[in-house]
Amino acid sequence: MVDSVDYISTRDSSRTPAKFTDILLGGLAPDGGLYLPAEYPQISDDQLTRWRTLLADKGYAALAAEVLKLFIDDIPAEDLEAIAARAYTTPKFAHEDIVPVTELENGVWIGHLSEGPTAAFKDMAMQLLGELFEYELARRGETLNILGATSGDTGSSAEYAMRGRKGIRVFMLTPAGRMTPFQQAQMFGLDDPNIFNIALDGVFDDCQDVVKAVSADADFKRDNRIGAVNSINWARLMAQVVYYISSWLRITESNGQKVSFSVPTGNFGDVCAGHIARQMGLPIDRLIVATNENDVLDEFFRTGDYRPRPADETLATSSPSMDISRASNFERFVFDLVGRDAGRIADYFGVQVRNGGFSLADDQAFPAATDPAGFGFASGRSTHADRVATIRDTFERLGVMLDPHTADGVKVARDWRDRIDTPIVCLETALPVKFAGTIEEATGRQPETPERFADVLDAERHVTDLPNDAETVKKFIVDSIRTTEV
C-alpha cells in the first residue's frame, strides 16, 4: 500500500485534496471539474518485471489488484484483491485471459476488450465499479443513485454491472433512436427494479449535458445521492489503465520495448487511460486517437483547435458509440498539457467550450501534445467507406470480423504503421454482433451471435421517453426513488 494518495479537481486552483472513496461515489467535482491524482504513481522497472511474472502465473485479476493499490489508500489491500478477483472472473468474461491480445497482421495487434457480459470494452471498468460501489456503500450504510449517459455501450455495461446490487439504482439516459437494435435490446430488455432506462429526445451530447446539469445542482445531488459511472468517474479510467499494462506485458519480452496503441474514441476516456499509463512510466510510444466523421479530437491534434460541435452538427454514423462532439475526458489531458493550471482549465472548459471552443495552436504547450518525447499523441479519421472497406478486408483476407469502431481504429493504425517503429495494439470496442447492419453491408453476411446473447432481441422493452430537459429528468429520478426500494 502506498503512503498517501490524494485527488484534485482539474478546476481547483487551491488543490484541495480528496480521497478515493469520496470521489468514487461523487463523480464530478463540486466545481464542475474532473478528478485526477495529485501526482501520478510511477511504475519502476522492477515492478514491470514482477508484473510480467504475476500476469503469467496468476492472471489479470491479480495484476489489476496491484495497479489498484497504487491509486487507493483508503481500502485495505486485501479487500482490493478480493474486489478485483470478483470483478475479473470466468465465465463472467468469456476468455480466461480476460483481455487476450492477438496479432492481426504485420505490425498491428488487437487487444480484445469485449469478452465481458455485454460484449463491449466498457465491461472492463464497469464490472470493477459494481464491486467498488457495493463494497463502499455497504461499509458506509448508504445508498447511491447512479445517473449516466450512453452513446451505445456504457449504458448496458453499467446496468449489467449494477443490476440487483444492494443499495444502488441506475438511471441511464440514451439518445432516442441513435443506438443499434442490439444495443437498445440489451439495455431496454432488463426488467430489474433498480434499473431505469430513459430515452432522451436528442443526441448523446444532450444526454451528457443533462447529466452534467443534474450533477452541478449540488443540493439535488446531495439530497438524492447522485453518483456517476460515465467516464467522468475517475474509477473508470483507473480500471482501464490495467489493460494497457496487461496488453503491453503480453506482447513484449523485455522492459525496454515500446508499444503504441490505436484507440477508437469520441469521449476521450479510453485513450485518456492510456495517457495516464504513459505518465506512470509504461513504455508507450504513440497513443493514436482514431475518430469517425465526428472528428473534433483529430482536428485538435492536427491543428491545436478544440471546437466542439452543437448537437445538430453531430453526425449519426455507422460507428455510433463515437458520435460525440464534446469529449468529456479531454479536460483531464489538457489539464496535464498546460502544466495543471486549474485557472486556465476553468476558463477553457467552464466558459470557452460553451462559446464554441478554444485554441492552443499558438500556445507553447501544444507541441508537446504530439511530440513522441512529450505526450506522444497522434490521430486520424475514418469514414463510413473506410470502416466498411476495413471490415470487408480483414474478414475476406484475414478471416477476422471487426465491429465498426474497431475497424476505425485498425484503419488509422494502418495509416500510421509506416511512420512509427513500434507494434500497434488496436483496442477493440465491441463484438460485431452489436452492429449487424454495417457488418452485413461490408461482408454480405450477419455476424455470429455468441450463445450467451441468443435471446437478447426477443426480450420485452422497458424504457421511458423524456424530453431533453434536466428538470424533467430530475422529477423522474425523485419519483422513482420514492416508489422503489433497493
Give the up-direction half-sphere exposure of residue 384: CA atoms within 13 A in the CB hemisphere.
Answer: 9
DSSP three-state, residue 27: coil
Calpha distance 293→288 (Å, rounded): 16
Listed residue (279, 234, 246, 257) closest to 7, CA to CA:
234
Residue 122 annotated to the active site: yes
Sign of the CA dihedral 64, 70, 74, 78?
Answer: positive
Calpha distance 59→67 (Å, rounded): 13
Calpha distance 201→27 (Å, rounded): 24
Calpha distance 154→159 (Å, rounded): 9
Choosing from 69, 122, 221, 411, which is the catalytic residue? 122
**To 5 degrees, how large is the angle CA 231–CA 235–CA 240?**
75
Residue 365 burial (CB < 10 Å; 0-12/13-18/19+)?
Answer: middle
On whether the CB atoms of residues 235 and 269 are closer than 8 A, the answer is: no
Q: Which residue has the cell 482490493?
A: 80
Calpha distance 74→65 (Å, rounded): 14
Q: Which residue has the cell 416508489?
A: 483
DSSP strand pairing (195-200 vs 464-466): parallel
Calpha distance 190→155 (Å, rounded): 11
The identity of residue 414, as a single letter, is R
DSSP three-state, residue 377: strand
Calpha distance 137→400 (Å, rounded): 43
User: How is the beta sheet containing 195-200 ordered, strand by strand?
Assistant: 226-227, 144-149, 168-175, 195-200, 464-466
Give the up-direction half-sphere exposure of residue 35: CA atoms within 13 A in the CB hemisphere.
Answer: 28
Helical (H) or strand (E) element with 149 = strand 144-149
Task: Provide the annotated active-site residues.
Answer: 122
